């Protein structure tokens, strides 16, 4: 009988291969590569297609881990700020692939378990479309259900004040993430910042709101977009691990291209070997 670990890894691999097959077209030139354990299989799936497929593509990392994955696979690497500029604007990425710590039924995400959330968000919004890849444990009706905390990247000197404000907003026990066991002291991001993990009750969706439930923080209960807006007002917060708002397809309709944080689809590898695809509606 397969162990739970092997089932989870097999699920991640299946989801990654199907996501790449569905969303990486041979004519694409610029591809975002996220961070985390599932992205290992995304890069493997791309490399398996051979140089004749990916030879004309350039791959943009979200941090040091994905840089290493891209290099080791023999893919062409470029940092986000090294993209060509056309008509005064950096070229858009054709697609970005990344993992998620939790995905709700409206394709909002929590990311940042690997402390790469800021660069992950920069790459996501630089792409015409973003595709999330995960295993069956990451799917929830509402965020903060199974993944209990929101990762928040903060300026170290602001951390004490941010912790106080988070408690006032209804987060019962926010903490600065430790670097242990690999590093003594705080977890330091690729950007030299710290991560605060802030627990909140399950985050409401817009459809959950009514005259008696406003989602504006009473008793610590927040609607996801309201909480994100409030967090980003706090001085010292660099970025938050909530990926919300609208996706790349919706951005075109809204006239907000290259501002989208949500994926157009999420691929979940299941324990039985199948892949469930959750598309935006």
Catalytic (active-site) positions: 120
Closest CA to 133 of 268, 234, 41: 268
Q: Tokens at residue 210, please?
A: 């009514």
The neighbouring-strand residues paired with 194 are 154, 188
Q: Where are the alpha helices (DSSP H) in the chain?
A: 4-23, 39-47, 51-54, 64-72, 117-125, 159-168, 224-232, 248-254
216 and 210 in contact (C-beta within 8 Å)?
no
In order of 23, 82, 155, 213, 273, the CA distances from 263 in angstroms are 12, 24, 27, 27, 23
In order of 150, 154, 162, 226, 269, the CA distances from 232 in angstroms are 13, 11, 11, 10, 32
Instruction: Name the phi and psi angles at 161, rounded to 5.
Output: -70, -35
Instruction: Quote the CA–CA distance of 109 and 262 in Å, as a whole number.
Output: 7
């Amino acid at each position: 009988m397969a162990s739970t670990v092997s089932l989870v890894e097999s699920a991640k691999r299946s989801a990654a291969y199907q996501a790449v097959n569905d969303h990486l077209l041979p004519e694409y030139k610029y591809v975002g590569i996220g961070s985390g354990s599932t992205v290992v299989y995304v890069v493997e799936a791309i490399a398996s297609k051979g140089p004749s497929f990916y030879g004309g593509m350039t791959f943009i990392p979200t941090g040091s881990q994905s840089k290493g994955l891209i290099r080791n696979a023999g893919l062409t690497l470029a940092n986000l700020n090294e993209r060509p500029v056309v008509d005064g604007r950096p070229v858009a990425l054709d697609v970005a692939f990344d993992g998620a710590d939790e995905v709700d039924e409206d394709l909002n995400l929590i990311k940042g378990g690997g402390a790469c959330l800021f660069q992950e968000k920069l790459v996501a919004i630089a792409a015409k479309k973003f595709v999330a890849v995960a295993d069956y444990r990451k799917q929830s009706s509402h965020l903060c259900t199974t993944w209990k905390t929101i990762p928040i990247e903060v300026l170290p000197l602001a951390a004490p004040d941010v912790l106080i404000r988070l408690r006032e907003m209804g987060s019962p026990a926010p903490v600065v993430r430790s670097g242990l066991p690999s590093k003594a002291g705080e977890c330091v991001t690729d950007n030299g910042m710290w991560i605060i993990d802030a627990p909140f009750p399950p985050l409401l969706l817009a459809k959950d709101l009514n005259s008696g439930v406003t989602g504006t923080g009473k008793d610590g209960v927040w609607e996801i977009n309201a909480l994100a807006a409030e967090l980003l007002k706090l001085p010292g917060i660099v970025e938050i691990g909530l990926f919300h708002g609208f996706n790349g397809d919706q951005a075109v309709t809204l006239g907000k291209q290259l501002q989208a944080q949500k994926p157009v689809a999420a691929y979940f590898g299941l324990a039985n070997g199948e892949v469930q695809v959750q598309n935006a509606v």
